[in-house]
Amino acid sequence: MHNDRTITEARLKRVLDERIRPAVYPESVPLAVTVWHAPGEPVPVAEGIAGSGVPIEAGAAWGPPWGTSWFTVAGRVPQEWAGRTVEALLDLGFDENMPGFQCEGLVYRPDGSPVKGLNPRNQWVRVAERAAGGEEVLLHVEASSNPVILDYHPFVPTELGDRETADDAPRYRLARMDLAVFDRTVWELVQDLEVLEGLMTELSPDDPRRWEILRAVERALDAVDLQDVGGTAAEARERLTAVLSAPAHASAHRISAVGHAHIDSAWLWPLRETVRKVARTTANMTALLEDEPEFVYAMSQAQQFAWIKEHRPEVYARVKKAVADGRFVPVGSMWVESDTNMPGGEALARQFVHGKRFFLEEFGIETEEVWLPDSFGYSAALPQLVRLAGAKWFLTQKISWSRTNKFPHHTFWWEGLDGTRVFTHFPPIDTYNAQLSGREVAHAVRNFQEKGGATRSLAPTGWGDGGGGTTREMLARAKRLADLEGSARVVFEKPSAFFEKAHAEYPQAPVWVGELYLELHRATLTSQARTKQGNRRSEHLLREAELWSATAAVRTGLPYPYEALDRLWKTVLLHQFHDILPGTSIAWVHREAAQTYAAVAAELEGLIGEAVTALAGDVPAGGTVVFNAAPHGRGGTPAHAAGPAGRSGPERATAEPREGGGFVLGNGVLRAEVDARGLVVSVYDLEAGRETVAPGAAANLLQLHQDFPNMWDAWDVDHFYRNTVTDLTDAGTLELTDDGAVRVVRAFGSSRVEQRISLPAGARRLDFVTEVDWHETEKFLKAAFPLDVHADRAAAETQFGHLYRATHTNTSWDAAKFEACAHRFVHVEEPGWGVALVNDSTYGYDVTRTVRPEDTGTTTTVRLSLLRAPRFPDPRTDQGVHRFRYALVPNASIGDAVREGYGINLPERRVPGSSVVPPLAQVGNEAVVISALKLADDGSGDVVVRLYESLGGRARARLEAGFPLGSASVCDLLERPLAAAATDGDAVPLALRPFQVLTLRLERRD
């Protein structure tokens, strides 16, 4: 037989594109359209429907950036269409290649009830299944003219990312607004041919099945009269019956499709637009559920459910019904799909608390899976928190984006810091926006790395990022792929059904230990410093507000601010979404985030102020009470306690001129030398008798790099940024301040930096306060500390513990971690002596090591990442003034690093008064750290203490209650008792394993 394969395949493509697809709607009539442009921000539905519209024709321009236009479409079904299926085709000017990234609409009936959303790949609205003929059609469309930020030429700087800087030129042209006859038979033929084409082109030319499909397609095309597609479509479909009914092989891979619309809670649109994106998508999905009995749709992020509950109650009513029916499935167990690298331990725990509690209270559903397909790497603390929240499965997809190493598993056990394991799936289809195309399904089968041990994978199916969800075309593909020779078997089912089956068939799945590091998007640890500082400060203020409010409630009867704390936590958790905290959203999002963090801080300071004032007692002349919210005692004040300020502290540190220029600082513990350049050339540990700074090197060296990644500007830093560096060594000002600190001022480029270097009296810590007035573009600013330490690994704090990363590049896995995340400290050591670098607001860092040729000693250089200046998606990222605090701690153990890290983030408070305020709870072993001390969320008055082992070893301790203790129980993160805890008087004896997190609920005895 002659090989005419390519000819037939080309014929299929042209006939589909030019004849069969257009015949899905063989007849149409235009609708009359009017438009009313809402002024300013979106208006309520009733106001939009009542707007006084003016006529508009197809082809007319509409929609300035971020505007809202209300279209009214009206018409009458022609009498000759009686008995036929009629749909409205409403094209707002869509580009079908950009679903979720441009204009969108939500269709309403005249009474204000929602119908469905309009998206580039979903432009139809069913008018009548069997039209009577003559009936009137009247619909309203709330259309948002969101500008395209990520265009065909991506990452181009644009001012469209903020309403304050965008122009007012219309972005779209109204396209087709018609009533049309929908030919179901032709539409089904399109689905048949698309599925067969997708399967055929993925099969090998040596596979007989490919040729069987090719010949069947050829016969079907022969049956199509190109001038009467509708009249011949049924015959064409009959000729495909045999190839579409051939069953899949017994060993065929099984794909569990899950309806899905990954909706970023903010990204290339502001938070307020996400509210509408969620409403559009959920309206679409509930409508599709009514039409398709086999369809199952899953939606994560409790915040998004809460938004539609508040802003679109009519849509939420449909969602609640579909949830009750078991087909609209809440998943995820978290308040938002958060970043998991940077949120603190308590914040990550509260993501589960507020997410799980919402689903329980609203739907009575205990979500069991954690659904994070798009976050930029996953903390090693997560497995333990997943289990402590009452969940047992984890899903991610983003690891497929890694650029250096291919992750070796798709279904596996993920083991966290403490040894907890969670059953995890990473879909081999390599997208969280699957369309179930032939290419995607075939890729999932080829890519699946558990062959021979497992047979199942999951496919999140639907348009996402900006929303849209699953389409009827995707469901049609799934039906045809349910049992089709040459393909995987595809079925829509709940995520829980997939996980149950996957776990049952593969209980001995391989184990991955430690973090799931994403080898991409490393710059998200630094971009938008204000957002990151707002998060860090909010987390610690929330800790203080809970601590002092609980203490005041128990000690003085001050009402505990349950509602305010609940609301403020949810606000902070929202801003930990994986495109807000990482700094990868448009300018509008980060401008609003700064305003929100300022408001959160002001309210929390008010709550803290009220509590500490109540606790401080009478105010004698000159009396001051020191409040210590840190989990370690300091300055004579115990952890989580308060007492009168001492009359005199340690002697002040000394400062004197240095030979050759600069100054020498001393405090009896350390001696630090700052040279004439304003650089730290020595930090000598007097107790250990050894130098901290590497020979011939200078610490606190600010280094400036060119920073222009290959793509994903705000997200990425590529390794080649290190190829060029400018050391900032010229000091315009070098002087000693009145309080004994060294002040250094430098100018570089268009920017200025002022630093204050000081040795606190009696402390083993050199403090740095760095204020940068930043006006650079595409630059990366780091603070380098070359240390005389031989270390092949560095410890970086993460949630409820720390993890080690190599300082060398022995393997490609080590080399790929050239920028990584740390919370309050990075620690390097050699046996018997280590150094910590602690900070109050940075997350990105790197560690490198070199061998000095002159003495063959090892220099380990730790660098904090301070600022970047990408231009996309926010062209003015981080411009302006920033203030950072960090400190170098020589002769530091991990325990010292933990203590100093908390200390720099939780400064003491000094309040007029005279009281001694004992702690509500204290733990005698410094390895055990209290991370939260609060009243129980249920209003019972019980005290909740969450603590963890911080050093990575076994720990025994006694939790001493500062009140008469009744019973005690071990709880999950949601404060639900799991087991009784033994008590010994007013204490609870503890035995913790390495990095164990433990939540205790303490009943107060009258």
Catalytic residues: 374
Q: Which amino acid is at 391?
A: A
How far apart CA 571 and CA 542 sit, in angstroms, is 11
How far apart CA 865 and CA 819 sit, in angstroms, is 9
Q: Is 152 helix (H, G, I), strand (E, B) or coil?
A: coil
- From the CB of residue 18, how many other CB atoms can be counted at a distance below 10 Å? 10
- Spell 667-696 as b/e; 16+ CB within 10 A means b: bebbbbbbbebbbbbbbbbeeeeebbbbee
Q: Is 710 exposed, middle or buried (0-12, 13-18, 19+ CB in 10 A)?
A: exposed
Q: Is 224 helix (H, G, I), strand (E, B) or coil?
A: coil
Q: Which amino acid is at 98?
A: M
Query: Which of 628, 612, 611, 627 is closest to 558 using CA atoms?
Result: 611
Distance of CA 202 to the CA centre of its chain: 34
Query: Which of 463, 468, 471 is closest to 433 using CA atoms?
Result: 463
How far apart CA 872 and CA 585 sit, in angstroms, is 9
Q: Which tokens hold the place of 741? A: 């600190």
How far apart CA 781 and CA 771 sit, in angstroms, is 12
How far apart CA 847 and CA 241 sit, in angstroms, is 62
Contacts of 960 (CB under 8 A, 6+ apart): 921, 922, 923, 924, 986, 987
Contacts of 793 (CB under 8 A, 6+ apart): 804, 805, 806, 807, 828
Hey, what long-range contacts does 591-598 have (CB within 8 A, 24 or more apart)? 591/162, 591/164, 592/270, 592/271, 593/530, 593/531, 593/534, 594/530, 594/531, 594/534, 596/534, 596/571, 597/530, 597/531, 597/534, 597/535, 597/537, 597/538, 598/534
CB 678 within 8 A of CB 742: yes
Query: Which of 297, 357, 361 is closest to 329 using CA atoms?
Result: 297
Give me the helices (H) in 208-268, please: 208-223, 229-238, 241-245
Query: Which of 419, 548, 555, 597 is closest to 906 using CA atoms?
Result: 548
Query: Which of 492, 482, 438 is closest to 460 using CA atoms?
Result: 492
CB 590 within 8 A of CB 868: no
How far apart CA 107 and CA 73 sit, in angstroms, is 10
747: β partners: 752
CB 781 within 8 A of CB 728: no
CB 757 within 8 A of CB 674: yes
Q: What is the CA radius of gyration of the chain?
A: 31
Q: Which tokens hold the place of 333? A: 């167990």
Q: Where are the beta strands (DSSP E) in 641-700?
A: 641-644, 654-657, 663-666, 670-674, 680-685, 690-691
743: β partners: 735, 756
Q: Is 63 helix (H, G, I), strand (E, B) or coil?
A: coil
590: β partners: none
Rounded (5°) CA angle 396-398-403: 145
